[in-house]
A and B are shown apart, each in its own frame.
Chain A
Amino acid sequence: MKQHLQRQSGVANVEVSLIDGKVNVTPKEDGQIEPAQLLKATYDSGVTVAELDMTASGTIVKDTSGNLSLQIKPNQSFVISPSELSKGLEPLVGLATVVTVRGQLYKKPVGKQKKADNSAPLKLLILEVKKE
Protein backbone atom coordinates (compact mmCIF):
# COMPACT_ATOMS: atom_id res chain seq x y z
CA MET A 1 0.00 0.00 0.00
CA LYS A 2 2.83 2.39 0.87
CA GLN A 3 4.33 2.00 -2.61
CA HIS A 4 0.87 2.50 -4.17
CA LEU A 5 0.43 5.78 -2.32
CA GLN A 6 3.96 7.04 -2.89
CA ARG A 7 3.44 6.70 -6.62
CA GLN A 8 0.55 9.18 -6.53
CA SER A 9 1.30 12.66 -7.82
CA GLY A 10 1.94 15.29 -5.20
CA VAL A 11 2.91 12.79 -2.49
CA ALA A 12 6.20 13.52 -0.72
CA ASN A 13 6.15 10.91 2.03
CA VAL A 14 3.95 8.12 3.41
CA GLU A 15 4.19 6.78 6.94
CA VAL A 16 2.29 3.64 7.88
CA SER A 17 1.62 2.52 11.43
CA LEU A 18 0.59 -1.12 11.49
CA ILE A 19 -0.26 -1.00 15.20
CA ASP A 20 -3.08 1.53 15.03
CA GLY A 21 -3.85 1.34 11.31
CA LYS A 22 -2.90 4.95 10.65
CA VAL A 23 -1.46 6.20 7.39
CA ASN A 24 0.08 9.69 7.32
CA VAL A 25 0.57 11.28 3.94
CA THR A 26 2.78 14.35 3.56
CA PRO A 27 2.18 16.25 0.32
CA LYS A 28 4.94 17.84 -1.72
CA GLU A 29 5.13 21.58 -1.10
CA ASP A 30 4.64 22.56 -4.71
CA GLY A 31 2.63 19.56 -5.85
CA GLN A 32 -1.08 18.99 -6.12
CA ILE A 33 -2.33 16.04 -4.13
CA GLU A 34 -5.76 14.61 -4.83
CA PRO A 35 -7.42 12.94 -1.80
CA ALA A 36 -9.86 11.02 -4.02
CA GLN A 37 -6.89 9.46 -5.86
CA LEU A 38 -5.37 8.45 -2.51
CA LEU A 39 -8.63 6.75 -1.53
CA LYS A 40 -8.70 4.87 -4.83
CA ALA A 41 -5.02 3.90 -4.59
CA THR A 42 -5.58 2.58 -1.06
CA TYR A 43 -8.57 0.48 -2.16
CA ASP A 44 -6.61 -0.77 -5.15
CA SER A 45 -3.93 -2.02 -2.77
CA GLY A 46 -6.56 -4.17 -1.01
CA VAL A 47 -7.00 -2.08 2.12
CA THR A 48 -10.26 -0.54 3.34
CA VAL A 49 -10.22 3.12 4.29
CA ALA A 50 -12.30 3.75 7.40
CA GLU A 51 -11.67 7.46 7.60
CA LEU A 52 -9.71 10.19 5.81
CA ASP A 53 -8.86 13.46 7.53
CA MET A 54 -7.18 16.41 5.86
CA THR A 55 -5.48 19.57 7.09
CA ALA A 56 -5.52 22.27 4.45
CA SER A 57 -5.26 26.01 3.91
CA GLY A 58 -7.44 27.87 1.50
CA THR A 59 -9.99 30.58 0.97
CA ILE A 60 -13.69 30.28 1.65
CA VAL A 61 -15.95 30.63 -1.37
CA LYS A 62 -19.54 29.87 -2.28
CA ASP A 63 -20.15 27.71 -5.34
CA THR A 64 -22.90 28.23 -7.88
CA SER A 65 -25.29 26.14 -5.77
CA GLY A 66 -24.66 28.32 -2.73
CA ASN A 67 -22.56 25.70 -0.93
CA LEU A 68 -19.64 26.83 1.18
CA SER A 69 -16.34 25.51 -0.21
CA LEU A 70 -12.69 25.53 0.72
CA GLN A 71 -10.79 26.65 -2.37
CA ILE A 72 -7.21 25.44 -2.36
CA LYS A 73 -6.27 25.97 -5.99
CA PRO A 74 -8.29 27.43 -8.89
CA ASN A 75 -8.98 23.84 -9.98
CA GLN A 76 -9.22 22.25 -6.53
CA SER A 77 -11.92 22.93 -3.97
CA PHE A 78 -13.94 20.93 -1.45
CA VAL A 79 -17.58 21.50 -0.56
CA ILE A 80 -17.92 22.04 3.19
CA SER A 81 -20.61 20.07 5.03
CA PRO A 82 -22.85 22.42 7.01
CA SER A 83 -22.03 22.40 10.74
CA GLU A 84 -21.63 24.76 13.66
CA LEU A 85 -17.95 25.23 12.78
CA SER A 86 -18.68 25.92 9.12
CA LYS A 87 -21.08 28.72 10.10
CA GLY A 88 -18.11 30.53 11.63
CA LEU A 89 -16.41 30.54 8.20
CA GLU A 90 -19.29 32.24 6.39
CA PRO A 91 -18.07 35.81 7.06
CA LEU A 92 -14.88 34.91 5.13
CA VAL A 93 -16.74 34.15 1.88
CA GLY A 94 -15.25 36.09 -0.99
CA LEU A 95 -12.35 37.45 1.06
CA ALA A 96 -8.72 36.71 0.26
CA THR A 97 -8.18 35.49 3.84
CA VAL A 98 -6.45 32.12 3.89
CA VAL A 99 -7.68 29.84 6.69
CA THR A 100 -6.27 26.54 7.85
CA VAL A 101 -8.78 23.86 8.74
CA ARG A 102 -8.71 20.21 9.73
CA GLY A 103 -11.62 18.21 8.47
CA GLN A 104 -12.97 14.80 7.66
CA LEU A 105 -13.24 14.14 3.93
CA TYR A 106 -14.37 10.53 4.06
CA LYS A 107 -15.82 8.09 6.52
CA LYS A 108 -16.69 4.51 5.69
CA PRO A 109 -20.46 4.06 5.55
CA VAL A 110 -21.93 1.97 8.33
CA GLY A 111 -23.52 -1.26 7.19
CA LYS A 112 -23.05 -3.57 4.23
CA GLN A 113 -21.80 -0.97 1.75
CA LYS A 114 -18.05 -1.32 2.07
CA LYS A 115 -16.60 0.09 -1.11
CA ALA A 116 -16.20 3.83 -1.41
CA ASP A 117 -18.30 5.56 -3.99
CA ASN A 118 -15.56 7.20 -6.02
CA SER A 119 -18.02 9.04 -8.22
CA ALA A 120 -19.43 11.09 -5.34
CA PRO A 121 -17.45 14.25 -4.59
CA LEU A 122 -15.81 14.29 -1.18
CA LYS A 123 -17.36 16.67 1.32
CA LEU A 124 -15.31 18.32 4.02
CA LEU A 125 -16.71 18.13 7.54
CA ILE A 126 -14.82 20.78 9.50
CA LEU A 127 -13.37 19.41 12.75
CA GLU A 128 -11.15 22.34 13.67
CA VAL A 129 -10.39 25.84 12.44
CA LYS A 130 -6.74 26.49 13.18
CA LYS A 131 -5.46 29.85 14.31
CA GLU A 132 -2.41 31.00 12.36
Chain B
Amino acid sequence: MNRKHLALLLLAGCVFVVPKLEAQIKHIEMRVEGMT
Protein backbone atom coordinates (compact mmCIF):
# COMPACT_ATOMS: atom_id res chain seq x y z
CA MET B 1 0.00 0.00 0.00
CA ASN B 2 2.78 2.37 0.98
CA ARG B 3 4.73 1.51 -2.19
CA LYS B 4 1.66 2.31 -4.27
CA HIS B 5 1.32 5.70 -2.60
CA LEU B 6 5.02 6.36 -3.07
CA ALA B 7 4.80 5.48 -6.78
CA LEU B 8 1.81 7.78 -7.22
CA LEU B 9 3.63 10.56 -5.40
CA LEU B 10 6.67 10.15 -7.67
CA LEU B 11 4.47 10.15 -10.76
CA ALA B 12 2.69 13.33 -9.65
CA GLY B 13 6.05 14.93 -8.90
CA CYS B 14 7.30 14.17 -12.42
CA VAL B 15 4.20 15.73 -13.95
CA PHE B 16 4.65 18.96 -12.02
CA VAL B 17 8.43 19.23 -11.84
CA VAL B 18 9.51 18.32 -15.40
CA PRO B 19 9.57 21.57 -17.36
CA LYS B 20 7.11 21.57 -20.21
CA LEU B 21 7.42 23.63 -23.38
CA GLU B 22 4.28 25.69 -23.10
CA ALA B 23 2.34 27.10 -26.01
CA GLN B 24 2.42 30.87 -25.70
CA ILE B 25 3.42 34.11 -27.40
CA LYS B 26 6.94 34.73 -26.17
CA HIS B 27 7.85 38.04 -27.75
CA ILE B 28 6.49 40.69 -30.09
CA GLU B 29 8.60 43.21 -31.95
CA MET B 30 7.19 46.11 -33.93
CA ARG B 31 8.91 48.49 -36.30
CA VAL B 32 7.08 51.80 -36.20
CA GLU B 33 7.11 55.05 -38.11
CA GLY B 34 6.24 58.55 -37.01
CA MET B 35 7.40 58.12 -33.45
CA THR B 36 8.84 61.24 -31.80
Contact = CB atoms under 8 A, between A and B. Distances in A.
A92 interface: no
Contact of A50 (B23, B32, B36): B32
A54 B31 CA distance: 12
Contacts of A1: 32, 35
B4 interface: no
A49 B28 contact: no
Prevailing SS type, chain A contact patch: strand
B10 interface: no
A21 interface: yes
Contact of A25 (B23, B24, B28, B31): B28
Contact of B35 (A47, A51, A98): A47
A93 interface: no
Interface of A: 1, 16, 18, 21-27, 29, 33, 35, 38, 42, 46-59, 71-73, 98, 100, 108, 132
